Structure 1
């Protein structure tokens, strides 16, 4: 399991990297069988998000460190270094480019983009 992370380097350039999630088998909901699960992370809030088809925003940094889980639709996210990735149903996108040049996001296709956002601060 992995997620896509967008971060700002020391020069303020937004860049992509892939992060592998470490899963450990343990008892999570006894008496249910053990499952593979990651370590918990403290979060501040969770929200649902919808971007309508055709939505296109100017380049900007993320306001807080947050993780997005795509439920439907698709967006193209372009880091300031020029690398673009498509976020589609089931993809997880971690945003940490709070400083620097930021990124550009636009909805691709005719379907609205719907997601869950989890904020860490």
Structure 2
């Protein structure tokens, strides 16, 4: 498993990186047998989000450190360094570009983009 991470360097330029998730067998729901699970991450809030088809926003940083899990539709996200990523159903995007130029997002699907946002702070 993996997710994509968008972060800002000290100069405020945003960049992408690919993060592999380490899974290990653990007792998650006793008495069920062990399952492969990652280390937990603290979360503060969870919400649902919808961007209507055709939505196109100006460049901005993320307001908080958060993860987005795409449920439907697709978006193209461009980091300030020019690299792009397509986020579609099942993809996970971790946002940490809280300062600097941020990123640009536009809906690329003909249907609305729907996601779950998990905020870490």
TM-score by length of 2: 0.99
Cα RMSD for the two superposed structures: 0.5
Aligned partner of residue 31 in structure 1, secondary structure: coil
For residues 104 and 118 of structure 2, the distance between their equivalents in structure 1, rounded to whole angstroms, comes to 20
Q: What is residue 115 of structure 1 aligned with on the other side?
A: 115
TM-score by length of 1: 0.99
* Deviations 1:4-57, CA, capped at 9 Å, x for gaps: 000001111000000111111011001111100011111100000000000000
Q: What is residue 41 of structure 2 aligned with on the other side?
A: 41
For residues 27 and 74 of structure 2, the distance between their equivalents in structure 1, rounded to whole angstroms, comes to 35
> What are the ranges of 5 or more consecutive residues in structure 1 without an aligned counterpart?
none
Alignment of 1:50-89 (within 5 A): 50-89=50-89
Q: What is residue 15 of structure 1 aligned with on the other side?
A: 15
Aligned partner of residue 76 in structure 1, secondary structure: strand
**Deviation for aligned residue 1:109:** 2.1
Aligned partner of residue 77 in structure 2, secondary structure: strand
For residues 58 and 87 of structure 1, the distance between their equivalents in structure 2, rounded to whole angstroms, comes to 18
> What are the ranges of 5 or more consecutive residues in structure 2 without an aligned counterpart?
none
Structure 1 stretches of 4+ with a deviation exceeding 4 A read none
